[in-house]
Amino acid sequence: MTPETAVRDDYLELCKGVRTLSGIDLSRYKRVQMERRIRTHARRIGVTDLNEYLRVLRKDPAELDSFLDRVTINVSSLWRSPEQWKLMAEELVPELAKTGRIRIWSAGCSIGAEAYTAAAVCRDAAPAGTTVTVLGTDVDRRVVKTAAIGEFPESAATAAPKAALQKHFDRMPDGGWKANAKLKQGVRFETGDLLEDRVRPAQFDLVICRNTVIYFTAPDRDMLHAKLASAVRPGGFLMIGPTERVASPADAGVENFRPFVFRRP
């Protein structure tokens, strides 16, 4: 066995171990980026061998939490990428609200900022009486619990419009913001694995999946875009992140509508 092979093997063994510990399959992520991130993270506690680091993860719950925070990239904020929410309010919501209800899936929801923002945008832009439901899912069980609480630090609200923030969130004693009871109505969170779980066809009017698929391998990325698109009802929309692309919209079952927004015909 060459040293290069040994390096590959300890990474794959770590991936297997992490899947057993957390349910997250790191082997489906782009290897070069993920392995670099993991080795850098392990070195901060003086560990260079990934087999040894896996033993640390099995024994130390706090280190496992720190590791999962690093590899699942739980970075999110309220009204992140404001231009997309402006487009949603001005073009998508009025169209979707014609049926009297808007069903949204925030896929890879992280701490819930996207799901609560989507709910707030819909409540402000849709006609009175429109029913709005938002489902947020994430593979990381820890952030799903955090999302359900609906609390965000001041730093997560810098892009939020002041009026909307004050309308839909309550100020917390520490200066952060908490989704108010009215906003939470119709918003729920579940643990879900985008790579493994089946989706019910045409279940949602809008599927939002931003800054998640970019970390996966190209085959998994294309598979996920097709899966996400299948969850959109005809006439509904799929929104991706402003740094992402759908390699072949036609193969995914959607057509271009606006930059980073696709419509299911």
**179-206 pLDDT, tens digit each:** 999 999 999 999 999 999 999 999 999 9
Q: Is residue 77 part of a domain?
A: no
pLDDT band at 69 (very low <50, low <70, confident <90, very high): confident
73-to-37, 102, 143 alpha-carbon distances in Å: 10, 28, 11
Give the pLDDT score at 193.
92
Q: Give the chain's domain count.
A: 2
Checking if the pLDDT of 74 tops 70, the result is no
3-state percent breakdown (helix, strand, coil) of the chain, nearest 5 = 50, 20, 30
Residue 234: CATH number of its domain? 3.40.50.150
Same domain for 97 and 44? no
Domain that holds residue 115: 82-263
- Between the two ends of the chain, the Cα-to-Cα distance in Å is 53
Name the residue type at position 58. R
End residue of a domain, out of 28, 53, 72 = 72
Checking if the pLDDT of 6 tops 80, the result is no
Give the pLDDT score at 23.
83
pLDDT band at 1 (very low <50, low <70, confident <90, very high): very low
Same domain for 185 and 57? no
Same domain for 101 and 206? yes
Checking if the pLDDT of 3 tops 50, the result is no
Give the containing element (helix H, strand E) for 142. helix 141-149
Q: Is residue 137 part of a domain?
A: yes
What digits encode the pLDDT tens for the residues 119-170? 999 999 999 999 999 999 999 898 999 999 999 999 999 999 999 999 999 9
- pTM for the whole thing? 0.84
